[in-house]
Amino acid sequence: MRPLADRIRPQTLDEMVGQRHLLGEGKPLRRILASGVIPNLIFYGPSGVGKTTLASIIAKQTNRKLCKLNGTTASTADIREVVAGLDRLDAVNGVLLYLDEIQYFNKKQQQTLLEFIENGQITLIASTTENPYFYVYNAILSRSTVFEFKAVQPEEICPAVERAFHVMEEDLHSPLRLEDGVVNHIAAACGGDVRKAMNAVELCALSSQEQGDVRLVTLEGARELTQRSAMKYDREGDEHYDILSAYQKSMRGSDPDAAIHYLARLLEAGDLPSACRRLLVCASEDVGLAYPQIIPIVKAAVDTALMVGLPEAQFPLADAVLLVCNAPKSNSGHNAILAAREDVRAGKAGPIPRQLQNKAGLGLVLPKYLRPSDRYDGYKYPHDYPNHWVVQQYLPENLQGTHYYEYGENKTEQAYRAYWERIKNSGNL
C-alpha cells in the first residue's frame, strides 16, 4: 500500500494547504496558472510544503504529460530520454519536466537542460530546498520565475490532519477516537512539513489502542511519535545558516529570549561548534569595546562547554549568550578594521614613516639595551613624555588625516575619548 501522504495528495489548488501568498485568490502564481500559459518555474522552499503536489496539479490542469526526475539520481541521458518521448501521443500537449532537487545537477547537466527549455521543447518546473541563486545556473534562472514556498502554519495543517485520520479509519475498518489536543499537536510538531504530519497520522493510527468498537489515539502516543519532528537542520543547507544568522542577530539585537531559542535549536541538532563560534564572534563584533572584558569571559564559557560536552555544555553557553545579550553594544572595532582593509585592498598603503621602520639610527648598530628613542632615527619614545604620549606621524604620508575608528556611544568608549581628548589637547607636542 502506498504511503498515506501520497494517497491523500491534493488534486486541485483548492485542496492544497498553505502557500496562500502564492495560491490565494488574486495571488501571482494562481493568476499565472489560470492563464494556461505556464512558464519555466523554480519552486524554492523546505520539504513537505507542496512543491511536488503543485507540479502534479499544474500538469493535470494543463493536460500535459508530467515527467519526474530527481537531481540526486538523474543523468543527462535521462533528460534526453524525456525529450525523445515528445513525439508520443501522450505528449501531444507538451511535456512538463519536474526536476526535484535541481541543486544536485552540475553545471554541465544544467546546460544540457537549458538547450531543451530554451527551444520550448519542454517546460521546466524545478524544485530545491536550497537558495536557487546560489545553486542554479544563471542562464536557467534568467529563463525561469522563482517562487518561494514557506513552511505551512499549524492552523492550516489541522484540516489535512483531520482528513488523514478519516482515511485511516477506512483503511483500518474501525472508527478512531482522538484525545483532545492530538490534531493540534501533530499540526504543530511537524515543523510546517505536511508530509511529516501525514506520516505522524499514519503511525498514530496504526499504533492506536483498541477499546471495544473504536481505536483510541492518545495525546501521549502522538507526542512520543512526533519527538524531534519539528527539527529541520542540515549543516550544509540554508536552514543551518538561517539559524546561525538569527542566533547572532538576536544577540546583537539584545533579545535574550530569541537568542536562547536559537541556541536551543543548535544544541538540539548537536551543533555545538557552530553555537560556540558564533558566540565568540558576537562578543568581539557586536559588544567589542563597549565591554572589552566580555571576550575572555565568553572564551572561558566556550572552553568549558567544549571540555564538558553536551548536555552540560548548554549551561555555560546559556550564561554567555545571556551576558552578550545584556551587554552594551559597540561595532566601532568592526567598522574600523573593515574600513582599513578596504583602503589596503584599494592600494592605499604608502611607505612606512622612517621613524617607525625597524632600522638602527643613522646606520649604526647600537647596543640592544638602549631604549628605542636612542636606537631609531627620529622616533619619539612615548614613555619618555608626559602622560606617555607625544605628537608623531604614524600613518603613511598619503593617508594622513584618515580616520578609521570612531568612538562608540557607550560608557566605556566615551571614557576613553574623554581621557585622550584631555591629554591630546594639553599642548604636549
For 284-334, the pLDDT digits (tens) are 999 999 999 999 999 999 999 999 888 899 999 999 999 999 999 999 999
Cα–Cα distance between 25 and 33 in angstroms, integer?
A: 12
Return the C-alpha cell found at 342. Answer: 578596504
CATH 1.10.3710 boundaries in the chain: 352-424
pLDDT digits (tens, 9 = 90+) for 418-427: 988 888 887 6
Residues of the chain predicted below pLDDT 70: 1, 86-94, 227-238, 359-377, 427-429
Long-range (24+ apart) CB contacts under 8 A made by 257-266 are 259/321, 259/322, 259/324, 259/325, 260/318, 260/321, 260/322, 263/314, 263/317, 263/318, 263/321, 265/231, 265/233
Could you say which architecture CATH assigns to the domain 352-424? Orthogonal Bundle (1.10)
What residues are paired with 210 via a beta bridge? 215
pLDDT, residue 285, reads 93
Fold of 238-326: Zinc Finger, Delta Prime; domain 3 (1.20.272)
Cα–Cα distance between 335 and 286 in angstroms, integer?
A: 10
Q: How far is CA 361 from the centre of its chain?
A: 56
pLDDT, residue 231, reads 53
pLDDT, residue 361, reads 47
pLDDT, residue 351, reads 82
CATH 1.10.8.60 boundaries in the chain: 154-225
Give the three-state DSSP class for 177.
strand
For residue 154, whether the previous peptide bond is cis, meaning omega lies within 30 degrees of 0, is no
Quote the DSSP letter at residue 86: G
CATH 1.20.272.10 boundaries in the chain: 238-326
Fold of 154-225: Helicase, Ruva Protein; domain 3 (1.10.8)
Q: Where are the alpha helices (DSSP H) in 62-176?
A: 76-84, 107-118, 132-135, 138-142, 154-172
pLDDT, residue 223, reads 86
Return the C-alpha cell found at 52. Answer: 511536488
pLDDT, residue 360, reads 47
CATH superfamily, region 19-148:
P-loop containing nucleotide triphosphate hydrolases (3.40.50.300)
Cβ-contact 294, 319 below 8 angstroms: no
pLDDT digits (tens, 9 = 90+) for 82-131: 877 766 655 556 678 899 988 888 888 888 888 778 777 788 899 988 88
Give residue for cell 501521549.
220
> Residues with Cβ < 8 Å from 144, sequence gap 6 or more?
39, 40, 41, 42, 124, 126
